[in-house]
């Protein structure tokens, strides 16, 4: 499960039912464990459309209390994150640009990345301009940028 991401339904807190995409009619043969590819797939649908497909394909009975999530294995623990869908998008670059002048926000980014990446982050600690700052952010891997966005939003 290391470095593999799965679409799942959270049946109860910390109790997940992974969805086999090979059995999901809307997947039409799509089957990947890469987070960027999963996001690319799920962004074509709303959360409700995905849940309805799961129900229609008799994979699981879902009620309103159950959420659609992405699960992955990290540091010997199953972790979850939001599924990105048509109705749940994110734009990290816009979010950073909108909050660039907030020193607490910039420090939060630096502290998060300081623990996640090995690159030189001096430009992120004391940014001089937004363009240079965004070049550093854009060089980060998709997974790190995605985690950063949800960290900044308290998820």
Q: What pLDDT digit, counting tens, does each position of 96-129 carry? A: 999 999 999 999 999 999 877 766 677 788 788 8
Mean predicted confidence (pLDDT) in 71-100: 90
pLDDT at 127: 84
pLDDT at 142: 92
pLDDT at 155: 61
3-state DSSP of 23-81: HCHHHCCCCCCCHHHHHHHHCCCCHHHHHHHHHHCCCCCCCCCCEEEEEEEECCEEEEE
Percent of the chain, pLDDT > 90? Answer: 68
Task: Say which residue, 114 or 71, is predicted with more confidence.
Answer: 71
Confidence band of 131 (pLDDT split at 50, 70, 90): very high
């Amino acid at each position: 499960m290391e470095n593999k991401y799965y679409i799942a339904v959270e049946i109860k807190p910390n109790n997940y039912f992974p969805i086999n995409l090979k059995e999901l009619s809307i997947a039409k043969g799509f089957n990947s464990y890469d987070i960027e590819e999963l996001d690319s797939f799920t962004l074509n649908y709303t959360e409700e459309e995905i849940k309805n497909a799961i129900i229609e394909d008799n994979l699981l009975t879902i009620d309103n209390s159950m959420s659609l999530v992405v699960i992955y294995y990290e540091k010997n623990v199953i972790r979850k994150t939001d599924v990105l869908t048509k109705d749940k998008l994110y734009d990290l670059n816009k979010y950073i640009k909108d909050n660039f002048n907030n020193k607490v926000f910039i420090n939060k980014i630096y502290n998060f990345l300081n623990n996640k990446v090995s690159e030189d982050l001096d430009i992120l600690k004391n940014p001089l301009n937004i363009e240079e700052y965004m070049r550093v952010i854009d060089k980060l891997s998709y997974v790190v940028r995605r985690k950063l966005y949800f960290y900044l939003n308290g998820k």
